[in-house]
Amino acid sequence: MLKCFITGQMAAYKIFEVIKRIPKIDASSMNGRLLEDLRGEIDLRNLYFRYPARPNVQIFTRVSLHIRNGTTTALVGHSGSGNQQ
């Protein structure tokens, strides 16, 4: 019973540390250079990706993606899609 309490306490501590941290970039700030008319396309070719915390698990292998100007795109994996089947 005590072990479960301590484990929960440690997990809560880590969560509160993330909540309390102050990001280096203030997303609500209007300071800096504002680009009035930014247009372009994104072209990713043969992308490889692994999470630093799990370097032995390959996430992307030779993924190519073209995102056209004016579109919204999201890359969502199994754990982040809301579908936990």
Count of the separate structural domains present in the chain: 1
Task: Examine residue 45 and state whether it is found in any structural domain, yes or no.
Answer: yes
Confidence class for position 70, pLDDT limits 50, 70, 90: confident
Task: Examine residue 54 and state whether it is found in any structural domain, yes or no.
Answer: yes
In contact, 40 and 59? CB cutoff 8 Å: no
pLDDT of residue 81: 55
Range of the domain at 50: 41-70
pLDDT of residue 32: 81
Angle, CA of 41, 44 and 48, to the nearest 5°: 160
In contact, 45 and 53? CB cutoff 8 Å: no
Tokens of 63: 């993924």
Q: Is the pTM of this model over 0.85?
A: no
Task: Examine residue 47 and state whether it is found in any structural domain, yes or no.
Answer: yes
Task: Examine residue 36 and state whether it is found in any structural domain, yes or no.
Answer: no
Task: Examine residue 53 and state whether it is found in any structural domain, yes or no.
Answer: yes
pLDDT of residue 66: 95
